[in-house]
A and B are shown apart, each in its own frame.
Chain A
Amino acid sequence: MTAAIHAEGLSKRYRIGEYRRGYDTLRDTLAYSARRALRLEHRPSYEEIWALDDVSFDVGQGEAVGFIGRNGAGKSTLLKILTRITTPTKGSAEIRGRVGSILEVGTGFHPELTGRENIYLNGAILGMTRREITSKLSQIIEFSGVPKFIDTPVKRYSTGMYVRLAFAVAAHLDPEILIIDEVLSVGDYEFQQRCMGRIEDISKSGRTVLFVSHDMAAVSRLCQRAYWLELGSVKRAGPAEQVVAAYIQAQAGVGAEQVWEEVETAPGNDVVRLRSARVIDAEGNTVDAVDVRRRVGIEIGFTVLTDDVALFPKIKLTNGQGEIAFNAMDIDERWRAPAKRGDYVSTAWIPGNLLNEGMMSVDVGVASLGAARLDAHFNFAGLLSFHVQDPVVGDSAKGFFTGQFKGAVRPLLEWDVDRTL
């Protein structure tokens, strides 16, 4: 098998101070240089971090390889290097074949243009020729499921429609190497499944796929191998299922709380952004392990940025084997009217004696009710995780049995018994 991608010692250094400030004016720089020259400021005003530190790997022709890791582990930086958006500070890579990337669905869409026009625009941006797009146009429109609105400016689209159209374009890209970065975190469930199916097909048709996701079930389903990145280095590599399992195990200890300090960089869209999420016990303490008999809360903080969209929080729990325990959303009346802008903290209480033992991974989202589907403003797969433990003292659903029950849930039921002689 020839290597489609051969990467050696890829490293990328960012200067944080510089990076965060984004840009400045000439005056700032002149003033700063003057201060430096006058020795008023000795140290440089930035800090250096290695976003990627000596990462080497090979991806075979036709292989599907997953990259997993926490936010800031270096996954995105790695993809940016492989797609030539930025250059590495050290190291090199060799790529055989045309690279197509789906880094963020809808990048380059222009709100004033119609759906059809945006297909051409986005297709060209993703590297398709005009002829290619024209030949695939009807397929793309059909896949998107928005044929009625195809000649409407996309600024009038709902988030769900927008995402569907954008993915439809990306899904018809036909490069030898496809790089996919966390594209399926928005949109409704049915469409997400269709996208996953399409990605699977692409991968099985002999194309090389690099897949970055927080959705562990998707990674182990789609990929043969996986790399787990942490702090810019490869922490573990191997068969996808093993790496995912190890990653989920490790997450259990640290994944009970997530916070986004700045609203601009938080996940979400122009309507609502995720700010924090915690696993809490009945007293409100952050916990990463809970007693199976006690109730556990999933606390979600989010910022609503508009006044005119009705929305509600939702969660989904999945166990370590990738089996879904349940989906749940807040159906309370308070969410029926459009939410006023502001910071919200919402807690979902999962009753005791419902979940099975073991690792639980939590997807957190905020969605709006579309026609016959949920349109997610964001849906963060595997954002939190916690361990459910059974002390086996006899009052849980397992009684005094010390073995394992299968399944994602293990409710304590009421049993009626009639005995006749």
Chain B
Amino acid sequence: MEQRSETISPAGVAERARRQVRARAGALRRASLPPAPDARRVPVTRIEAEAPRARLEFRELWRARDLALTFAWRDVKVRYKQSLVGIAWAILQPLMTMIVFTVIFGKFANFPSEGTQYQVFVYAGLLPWMFFSTGLTQIASSVVLNRQLVQKIYFPRLILPLSGVLVPAIDFLFALTIMFGIAAWYHTAIQWTTIALAPFFLLLLALAAVGVGAFFATINVRYRDVPYAMPFLIQIWLYLSPVIYGFTALPHKWKVLFAFNPVVLGITGFRWALLGTPQPSQLQVVCGLATTCVFVFGGLWVYRKWESSFADVI
């Protein structure tokens, strides 16, 4: 033992000398690093075992806005990679759907279209509907698709559903350009006086998509049934929404029930703002706003309640 300590200590001295040299060399390189943080201004984070509160941390979200935009930018960039026509899909999808719907529902079934050309009518309904439905699909899978990140990095989890609604917004803008062409082709006047109100209805749809999407995203973390259920849900939901028909065409006693569908107000309102079709009734506005609120707060509450266990369960 004696022998050993004797042989080691000179090595220790040498090591210390080497450290000093390195420290000096480090001092030179350090010049490129920013100054050390000021201890008084640093934020303090408390980590507690107790169940997290479902409150929305707006300040934290605001600080992470760059990340939300980056996620959206990534999804947009990647979305049409290695596809032949790329972003044209954003136009082709609603356009083809419009043609099929026009032939089936407009011509064969002779659905009423609230005094406008059916083509224009259905396209103006498909735009907000597709914005809502792709947003909903995207958000419902957002947490699971980013599971690698969720397991490795902390960021405000709400960013995932919030940025999920930005991608369909881009698609929407592309599809919107065609809207004006179609309206002109069928000699339908665009209501330039009310069009400024259209974004409000889109916002309502976005909120509904975030709320419902966040709810399903939470379930998806635990149960991978969601990807199977989603297309089915969206298909049914389309027929329960005034896309291929107008709200005014519904039998009176059903109107109350349908008005609770948060998408009804968004679509009817958007179409009214754009084309001047009958404006949303009081019933629609009241029920639509109320259900949207319920969906948004309910969905986000569930999401917030479970988000801290995402990394463990996913």
Q: Do A and B associate with each other?
A: yes
Binding site for B on A (CB under 8 A): 2, 11, 14, 18-19, 23-27, 29, 61-62, 80-99, 101, 103-104, 107-108, 110, 112-113, 117, 120-121, 124-130, 174, 176, 197, 200-202, 204-207, 321, 402-404, 406
* A81 partner residues in chain B, CB cutoff 8 A: 47
From B150-158, B210-218, B260-268, the one touching the partner chain is B150-158
Q: Mark B9-40, 1 if CB is under 8 A from A, else 0.
A: 00100000000001100110110011111010
* B52 partner residues in chain A, CB cutoff 8 A: 87
* A86 partner residues in chain B, CB cutoff 8 A: 308-309, 311-312
12 A-B pairs whose Cβ atoms sit less than 8 Å apart in the complex:
A24-B223, A61-B39, A87-B47, A104-B152, A108-B148, A124-B66, A129-B66, A201-B33, A204-B23, A204-B26, A403-B7, A406-B11
Confirm or deny: B67 has a beta carbon within 8 angstroms of a beta carbon on chain A.
Answer: yes
Q: With A26-B225, A124-B67, A125-B67 given, is the CB distance from A85 to B37 under 8 Å?
A: no
Confirm or deny: B55 has a beta carbon within 8 angstroms of a beta carbon on chain A.
Answer: no
CA–CA, A86 and B77, complex, Å: 30
Min CB distance A320 to B, Å, is 10
CA–CA, A82 and B45, complex, Å: 10
Binding site for A on B (CB under 8 A): 3-4, 7-8, 11, 22-23, 26-27, 29-30, 33-37, 39, 42-49, 52, 66-67, 69-71, 74, 77-78, 81-82, 148-155, 221-225, 308-309, 311-314
Interface-centre pick from B11, B26, B66, B82 (highest chain A CB count, 10 A) = B66
Contact A404–B4 (Cβ < 8 Å): yes
Contact B44–A206 (Cβ < 8 Å): no
Q: Which one of A26, A83, A121, A202 lies within 8 Å of B74 (CB-CB)?
A: A121
Closest B residue, CB atoms, query A123: B70
Interface-centre pick from A19, A80, A82, A84 (highest chain B CB count, 10 A) = A84
Closest B residue, CB atoms, query A88: B49
Min CB distance A79 to B, Å, is 10
Identify whether the interface residues of B are mostly helix, strand, loop, or mixed: helix
* B8 partner residues in chain A, CB cutoff 8 A: 321
Contact B47–A96 (Cβ < 8 Å): no
Interface-centre pick from B39, B49, B313 (highest chain A CB count, 10 A) = B49
Q: Which one of B37, B74, B78, B223 lies within 8 Å of A97 (CB-CB)?
A: B37
Min CB distance B81 to A, Å, is 5
Min CB distance B155 to A, Å, is 7
CA–CA, A195 and B25, complex, Å: 15
* A80 partner residues in chain B, CB cutoff 8 A: 311
Min CB distance B176 to A, Å, is 27
CA–CA, A121 and B8, complex, Å: 48
Q: Which one of A92, A124, A176 lies within 8 Å of B49 (CB-CB)?
A: A92
* A403 partner residues in chain B, CB cutoff 8 A: 3, 7
CA–CA, A113 and B43, complex, Å: 33
CA–CA, A324 and B47, complex, Å: 41
Min CB distance A259 to B, Å, is 24
* B150 partner residues in chain A, CB cutoff 8 A: 85
Contact B11–A321 (Cβ < 8 Å): yes
CA–CA, A108 and B8, complex, Å: 45
Q: With A91-B49, A130-B70, A321-B11 given, is the CB distance from A2 to B223 under 8 Å?
A: no
* B48 partner residues in chain A, CB cutoff 8 A: 87-88, 92
* B35 partner residues in chain A, CB cutoff 8 A: 205-206
* B311 partner residues in chain A, CB cutoff 8 A: 80, 85-86
Q: With A113-B74, A121-B74 given, is the CB distance from A92 to B42 under 8 Å?
A: no
Contact B36–A205 (Cβ < 8 Å): yes
Closest B residue, CB atoms, query A28: B223
* B309 partner residues in chain A, CB cutoff 8 A: 86-87
Closest B residue, CB atoms, query A109: B148
* A110 partner residues in chain B, CB cutoff 8 A: 74, 78
CA–CA, A97 and B312, complex, Å: 25
* A126 partner residues in chain B, CB cutoff 8 A: 153
Contact B77–A92 (Cβ < 8 Å): no
Closest B residue, CB atoms, query A14: B312
Contact B33–A92 (Cβ < 8 Å): no
Closest B residue, CB atoms, query A87: B308
Known A101-B153, A402-B3; further 11 A-B contacts with Cβ < 8 A: A25-B225, A61-B39, A85-B150, A85-B154, A87-B49, A92-B49, A107-B148, A113-B77, A125-B70, A201-B33, A204-B26
